Structure 1
Amino acid sequence: MGADFGRLHPELRRRFSVGLVNGEACTGRGVMDRVWHDRGLVKPFLVLGGTRNILVPRQGQNVPFVIENVPYTDTFGRETVSFVRTFDLPGRARRFDAQMVLSPKGDRVLDYLGTHQHLASELHFSAEPDGSLLIRSGEHRFREGPVDVRVPDVIGGQAEVRESFDESTGRFRIRVRVANRYVGPLFGYEGSFTVSYADVGACGVRPGLRPAREEARA
């Protein structure tokens, strides 16, 4: 983000400074006011993605929520920060897993999705005038064995994440919306949470937080 990082609210700057250098992990706990998805043709894809912790195929209101941001070094020697979200939906908790890695050139962040990192997306960060953070996804790629292809816009989804800090409540607020260029809104959630920080050296990376398979291709 360069100089843009300094325009973020101080609480956001600390939260998004989690990493091996400062030695901090961050856990957010709160409630999503709403978890939603389109009721149409997209549901089978959400169900399929849910088997690999990609997106969430259920809807709900006032859903307890946890996000775990823990830095570690992956199999290929890259610093990685987990963005593992758990939604305590009725009947069964659902996870939406992502691991963020800085590209080899250091010019973009790569977001590897799911338990097997079959999907990868470029992320673009910017600071809003009110000190909130805006994250937009760019190109998506699907990778499995020798296959490495760009996901066409006709079936892909563009994500927009807005995160802010509400000083009146002492809580972070988040709104996520994934939409397809042709179909429209696909999936999203919005709510608020508080965070706690821990020393990475002391807490380590709990079992099950890292993906089952890691993708080398950036």
Structure 2
Amino acid sequence: MTPTTSMFRTVMGDDFDRLHPQLQRRFSVGLASGEACTGRGVMDRIWHGPAFVRPFLALGATRNILVPKAGRDIPFVIENVPYTDTYGRETVTFVRTFDLPGRPRRFDAQMVLSPKGDRVLDYLGTHQHLAGELHLGAEPDGSLLIRSGEHRFREGPVDVRVPELLGATAEVRESYDDAAGRFRIRVKVVNRRFGPLFGYEGSFTASYRNVRARGVRPGLRPVREEARA
């Protein structure tokens, strides 16, 4: 059955209407609207924490999780495309491609509505080995604040919570700048013990297209999909 509204409005309820109108449109992408959104812009800064986190960032980058290089004024694209996954669930891609020197790097995430319809589940990487739940809220200025909950690692029969010592929480703040006519985004990933690990901030413009007519481009969906919610 085709949903009647976006997963983000479903989870946020009346809070969704407090978002800036441009954010409401961007987060209305889904099977109900039949629209996909592509953002193109520049990351003013991509930063890393202490030097010891870099090997972990490099490891995550092999599965398109996190970004192993820092930089400034980095062109990027974010693709939000809805589709029905192998298990019949509505999914919206959050695939970010950063045009870093040497070669582009991707940070892949797929958003899925939880079975009870009360949470957005965030599956990370090309093989969805990491999964967590997201908490979404509208801020007084109409921006969207997203905070991640605990993450679980899943591979075959393995299904374990990522310990706090190894895990991290993410905070994403997205807003719309009326004067500039651009979306602004700021992301910070923090470990409770070691502090800030990784983040980026920048701005972009968005365009929309009919996904029913054009579908999902090759390479945007993950290699492996995880059934466990």
- TM-score, structure 2 as length reference: 0.94
Structure 1 unmatched runs, 5+: none
Aligned: 1:39 with 2:50 = yes
Aligned: 1:102 with 2:109 = no
The residue number in structure 1 matching 2:194 is: 183
The residue number in structure 2 matching 1:173 is: 184
The residue number in structure 2 matching 1:147 is: 158
Aligned: 1:126 with 2:119 = no
| AA aligned opposite 2:112 | V
Q: Number of matched residues? A: 218
Structure 2 unmatched runs, 5+: 1-11
The residue number in structure 2 matching 1:8 is: 19
Q: Distance in 2 between matches of 1:11 and 1:97?
A: 23
Q: Distance in 1 between matches of 2:221 and 2:133?
A: 20
Task: Name the SS of the counterpart of 1:81 in structure 2.
Answer: strand
Aligned: 1:60 with 2:71 = yes
User: Runs (4+) of structure 1 moved beyond 3 Å?
Assistant: none
CA RMSD of aligned residues (A): 0.5
Q: Distance in 1 between matches of 2:31 and 2:135?
A: 21
Task: Name the SS of the counterpart of 1:6 in structure 2.
Answer: helix
The residue number in structure 1 matching 2:33 is: 22
- Shift in Å at residue 20 of structure 1? 0.5
TM-superposition CA deviations, 1:125-165 (whole Å, max 9, x none): 00000000000000100000000000011110100000000
- Shift in Å at residue 39 of structure 1? 3.4
Identity of aligned residues (%): 80
| AA aligned opposite 1:129 | P
| AA aligned opposite 1:206 | R
TM-superposition CA deviations, 1:164-213 (whole Å, max 9, x none): 00000100000000000000000000000000000001221000000000
Q: Distance in 2 between matches of 1:136 and 1:38?
A: 19
| AA aligned opposite 2:171 | E
